[in-house]
Amino acid sequence: MLKIREEVRKSVWSAILSEVQTQSSTKLPSNKSVLVLGDNASGKTTLIAKLQGVEDPKKGSGLEYAYIDVRDEYRDDVTRLGVWILDGDPGHNNLLKYALNESNYAHTLVILTLSMTTPWSWVEQLQHWIKILEHHIAELKIEPEEKSQCRQRLVTVWQSYCDTIDELDPGSPIKRTNRLSSVDDDLDALPLPEGVLTTNLGLDVVVVVTKTDYMTTLEKELDYRDEHFDFMQQWIRRFCLLYGASLFYTSVKEDKNCDLLYKYLTHRIYGLPFRTPALIVEKDAVLIPAGWDNMKKINILYENMQSCKPDDDYNDIIAQPPSRKTVSNREIEVQTEEEQAFLTRQLQLLQAGQTPTRGESPMRSQSSAGKTTPRTPGSGGAQGSPKKVDGKLNPSTPSGEGVLANFFNSLLHKKSGSPAGAGGGAGGVGGTSPNLPGTGISPRATTNGATVGTGPGDLVSASEKLSMRTDAAMELDRLTRSVKKDLDFGSAQSDC
């Protein structure tokens, strides 16, 4: 009797253990991962943050790691999908061994990202990253049998693909049966279409074109037309055929195809249902799952291409535009002279007996540019000064006092309201004088109602005169501000 009870107890425990083992085998695996490759500014971090549900992505460097929560609604199971994001800097390519190695080769999916903001660089970018990926896989010490199984799995995906209808009712039994066929479906294997999987890496590859909302900018600024976008699409679809890759056009800004990309990744990695058919109508929301495309479907795009042919060089049709000036209103940066070099040069001029020259100030240039250039004596008119005034600073006089002294001396020697030819100039000479030979003007000509001297020693250049007046005005303004500041300070002290 005891022996019978013991056998029954063992059989019960065996049944429980068997059931637990069966249930554990149907759970979502936790060793799956995604490797994201692409140039910098191609939208890798932003795309993964969108799949995670993070609204404020933070860009890292080197090799970043993140994870995406995956939930199986049918089995009520949750797992985490690891995501590796490799920096676009070529100096970080050696970190690829930590994201893709012999232990996770069969459990890794690769995403290649491109940006719609730079479509002229697609060829270079894709060839660059595919070459890096091929070279890295070739160096991995993977068992030949395991590599062969991974390659055969990709071939079976293409051979067993069947179209599906996107039903409205998520609980429809038809929708569960009419889905993308899995690798285990027992279907008659069809031969691969022409040009498909000519290079079989043994890895699921998804090409993602990001920032498709930039298409409107390409149309407005670079005059892109529908045939340009068709040419770009047919080229990248032909590339995807070579590696058996899927194609997604996404826009995080406008939330296009991001949710579908998440569902497709869970379908390819965990075998969860994906019932959305291929989408090729909207040019900025293309979705082409692996196994759907072929050259006959791509040929449909050729009908809209009038000014180009499919075999044309990609960079001839989608050429990089000339660099544009992004800054137009920024002032030109002035490079200042090193202080010691400036002082050394001034010392050399003083030792040589020369007066240091002043550089042209921007304010003086602007004030001079806004006035009409005075006529020279040879042009039929003269503009002189009763006493020649040197507009340059005198080293022995403070700058402010020297400028004011010159300015007020010139005012004292001017005689306002005198008619042309009237006396009263510098040196007390009065009356009229004969015209200067060859000039047609009197030695004492009237300019703007003021008698000015035009003798050989009284002529002063227009630039020096304008410089003197501008410096005087600036000094007066400075003195006014200084007096006002002193008054305000004294008033504040009295209030206290």
pLDDT tens-digit map of 413-441: 654 444 444 444 444 434 444 444 444 44
Model pLDDT, residue 421 = 41
State the distance between the two ends of the chain, measured CA to CA, in whole angstroms. 111
Neighbours of 329 (CB within 10 A): 4
Residues 467-477 have pLDDT tens digits of 767 777 777 77
Q: Is residue 467 a contact partner of residue 475, using CB atoms and an 8 Å limit?
A: no
Distance from C-alpha of 72 to C-alpha of 259, rounded to nearest angstrom: 15
When mean pLDDT is compared across 20-34, 109-123, 206-220, 350-364, the lowest value belongs to 350-364
Q: Where in the chain are the domains?
A: 1-26, 31-168+194-317
Say which CATH topology domain 31-168+194-317 has.
Rossmann fold (3.40.50)
Residue 332 CB neighbour total at 10 angstroms? 5
In sequence order, the 6+-apart residues with CB closer than 8 A to the CB of 250 are 47, 208, 209, 210, 212, 256, 257, 258, 261
- Residue 264 and residue 248 in contact, taking contact as beta carbons nearer than 8 Å: yes
pLDDT number for residue 443:
43
pLDDT tens, residue by residue, 34-88:
999 999 999 999 999 999 998 888 888 899 999 999 988 887 889 999 999 999 9
Q: Residue 253 is encoded by which pair of tokens?
A: 């800004």
Q: Which of 384, 235, 234 is nearest to 300 (CA)?
A: 234
pLDDT for 155 beyond 70: yes
Helix axes 462-495, 362-369, angle to 10 degrees: 120
Could you tell me the CA-to-CA distances from 126 to 98, 129, 136 in Å, in that order?
22, 5, 15
Q: Out of 140-144, 193-197, 407-411, pick the least confident.
A: 407-411
337 pLDDT higher than 90: no
